[in-house]
Amino acid sequence: MSRVEALKSLESLLENFLERAVRLKQNQLQNLSGINRLDDIARRMDIRDDFTEEIGNWFAEHNPWLEEDRFKPAETNRIQAILEQIRKKMSDSDLVSPEENKIRTEIDRWDRKISESRKLVLKRGSETVRPYSPAKPDPSAQPGKTTEPEKSTEPVAASIARFDHIFTRLGAMFADLAVSRAHLLSVLDDSLKKAETQKNKEALILSALIIYYLKFDGYKISPYVKRLKEAEKSFGGSGKDA
């Protein structure tokens, strides 16, 4: 592969990464807005007699979320806490209407779905990969001759799965850093600080990706490259060009 082809491939990879990061950020903002709205409904239950319609509308709008793998553990914890708060306030009422029974049924369904998704995550194990076996001396062979190393599935399967997992985590980190920032350079600065002060390897990788992306867009990146190399040294890297 020529240098031009390699750069085009990297550019395509970066664009794909940023698109995924933007989608993830949008989902996070939607999640936050929806959960905040549910929290607001729960808080106003004490001063409203007819709250069932508002809660019912919330469930109708957000039920598709249950079929999507879009929540972080902290978000599911918050949703369950709010739903439990709503359930408790409803149980304090002496009157039970058909509408309230429907709300209780929906709360139970959300609790069950969230619990099932957690169990699914806990059951997922890491990939089973045969470790790389280096070449060993062959007693029956000529002096100095070694047997061929056992082939490992790690470079083909596990490395791809591991990179895809890290790629997703990078997207989540980018989304978190970009929430309150107006320019990509500010996100890069925050990412580099995270790599420098916290010795965060994923922040270092994210910084490198953003630097390459900015390079393609014609930005002067020399100061950021210098900071990246300095941060890399704390991970045992030489900080020199490859």
pLDDT for 93 equals 65
pLDDT for 49 equals 61
Range of the domain at 45: 3-123
Do both 19 and 69 map to the same domain?
Answer: yes
Do both 117 and 159 map to the same domain?
Answer: no
Number of domains in the chain: 2
pTM: 0.47
108 falls within a domain: yes
> What is the torsional sign of CA 15, 16, 17, 19?
positive
- Paired with 150 in beta bridges are 133
Do both 10 and 75 map to the same domain?
Answer: yes
Q: Which of 161, 190, 166, 167 is nearest to 178 (CA)?
A: 190
Last residue of a domain, one of 105, 123, 141: 123
DSSP characters for 72-110?
-HHHHHHHHHHHHHHHHHHHT-S---HHHHHHHHHHHHH
pLDDT per residue as tens digits for the range 161-178: 777 778 778 888 888 888
Do both 117 and 161 map to the same domain?
Answer: no
From CA 219, how far away is CA 213, in angstroms rounded?
A: 9
| SS3 (DSSP) at 230 | helix
Q: Which of 51, 31, 29 is nearest to 42 (CA)?
A: 51
> Which parts of the chain register pLDDT below 70?
1, 3-4, 6-7, 10, 47-49, 92-95, 118-159, 236-242
33 falls within a domain: yes
Residue 45 near residue 54, CB atoms below 8 Å: no
In the chain, % of residues over pLDDT 90? 18
26 falls within a domain: yes
Residue 111 near residue 83, CB atoms below 8 Å: yes
Could you tell me the two tokens for 239? Answer: 């900080």
pLDDT for 220 equals 87
Do both 74 and 185 map to the same domain?
Answer: no
Do both 81 and 35 map to the same domain?
Answer: yes
